[in-house]
Structures are given as C-alpha cells and as structure tokens.
Amino acid sequence: AQRVTQVQPTGSSQWGEEVTLDCSYETSEYFYRIFWYRQLFSGEMVFLIYQPSFDTQNQRSGRYSVVFQKSFKSISLVISASQPEDSGTYFCALSELITNTGKLTFGDGTVLTVKP
Amino acid sequence: EAAVTQSPRNKVAVTGGKVTLSCNQTNNHNNMYWYRQDTGHGLRLIHYSYGAGSTEKGDIPDGYKASRPSQENFSLILELATPSQTSVYFCASGDLWGQNTLYFGAGTRLSVL
C-alpha cells in the first residue's frame, strides 16, 4: 500500500528566506513519481514540480526545487527567496507508474506562512 | 492552459437526498478523477475514469457512484447523501502520456444537513 506523510503541519519563513518542506512516502514499486502541489486560500490546486523515481537528478522549476533521497524514501520541496504570495498549503503526492492509472496519493499538507 | 470546470461550486443538500456533482474538462485528457478533501487533510480518491464509458473505484468509493458519458464530462453521484459526506470535492483530469500532471477544478463545497 502506498502512503505519504508530511510531518510538518505548519511552517513559516521571512520574506526572502529559503524554505524547506519535508515529505516521506511508502511504496513497494520501483517506478513512481512524486508531485508537489500548492493549494491557494481559494482552494485551487496548483501544480509546482514533480520528481520521477528513475531520475537521480533533483528537479528544478523556477524558484522551486526538490531534494530527492530515494533510498530514504523522502523528498523535500525547497522554495528559494520566499515571498508572502507563497503562503498556502503545500501537498506532496505519490503516483505509482506500474499501475499507470495516474492516480495520486496525497499527504495531509503543510501550511506555510511567509511573513513580510 | 488546462481547464477543468466544476458545478455547482457550493451545494447544500438534505440527508437522504440525491446529489450530482458535475465536471467538464476541455483538455482532451483521457483520465478524470474525483477526490474529496476534509478539513486539515489531503485529497482522497473516490472514483476515476480512463475514458468515456469507464469508471473505476478509488480508495474510498462507498456511498458514491460515478458516470463518464463523454470524454469531457465526469459526474459524481451521491444517491443517498449523508452528513459524513460533507466535504470539498475536487475533479481532476490528466493524460497518462507525458508527465501525467493532474489539473484540478476549483472544487465544490458540499454540506449535507
């Protein structure tokens, strides 16, 4: 069974600081993807970045990057130069490729507050 | 830009009543999904579909039915709504080919009284 855990229910930073949000997961599959989404205060879910399990290189997209530690089944989202507009809830989600259904298993999220 | 539209955005229903939540996507994605989100938690998968005419059970399908009459439309049906089904419901579409990012609708807030 797959499971995603985000142990930090909340986090905070000051404007301009780098923020790291942690996620761990359980899966018996070798091929999978880890996605990061941000939920705005309106409820909208916005895709940020994803990491395929077979890629040893940490993915980057703009101010977002990940630190992928496959052997520990953990992945962190790093937001550089955080801004108040980055505030919201961040979700980590796992998709197993072997079944190829595309469905995501989500963690419970981390609520980030970036202070001006 | 991917477009997934849900209706209604808010719904109040009575216990035992029938509720239908609708979702339309203009992305021409094969896959569509229904999730629910309870306060303070992540999204949990109810039903999903690979294409018109197909529906599959997700992780928490009890009390819900789904219908996929066309590529664009995917409905979630609560035949006998209960207060425990009060939640926010999200529809998403995705394409298995490529990176398979899911694109979400804005959500439907359902209250069952």
User: What region, left, alpha or beta, does residue B9 occupy, with left being phi > 0 and alpha being psi -120 to 50 degrees?
Assistant: alpha
Phi and psi at residue A71, in whole multiples of 5°?
Answer: -65, -25
Binned at pLDDT 50, 70 and 90, residue A37 comes out as: very high
- Contact between residue B43 and residue A104 where contact means Cβ atoms under 8 Å apart: yes
**CA dihedral (A73, B56, B44, B107) positive or negative:** positive
Model pLDDT, residue B71? 95
Predicted local confidence at residue A110, as pLDDT = 96
**Whether B54 contacts chain A with CB within 8 A:** no
Calpha distance A99→A95 (Å, rounded):
9
Those of residues 9-28 in A touching chain B at CB distance below 8 A are none
Which of A75, A73, A92, A93 has its CA nearest to residue A28?
A: A73
Q: Which of B83, B76, B4, B86 is nearest to B47 (CA)?
A: B76
Out of B42, B88, B104, the one facing A108 most closely (by C-beta) is: B42
Residue in B40, B100, B107 closest to A102 by CB: B100
Q: What is the pLDDT of residues A38-60, one digit of tens each?
A: 999 889 999 999 999 999 899 99
Confidence of residue A22 (pLDDT cuts 50, 70, 90): very high
What local confidence, expressed as pLDDT, does residue B97 receive?
65
Confidence of residue A88 (pLDDT cuts 50, 70, 90): very high
Q: Which of B42, B94, B106 sits opposite A102 (nearest CB)?
A: B94
**A107: closest chain B residue by CA:** B42
Average pLDDT value for residue range A57-86: 96
Mean pLDDT across A1-30: 94
Pick from B93, B113, B95: nearest CA to B103: B93
Specify the pairing of strand B108-112 against strand B10-13. Answer: parallel
Q: Is B102 on the interface with A (CB under 8 A)?
A: yes
Pairing state of beta strands A32-39 and A88-96? Answer: antiparallel
Quick one: pLDDT at residue A1?
A: 77
Residues of chain B below pLDDT 50: none
Q: Is B48 on the interface with A (CB under 8 A)?
A: yes
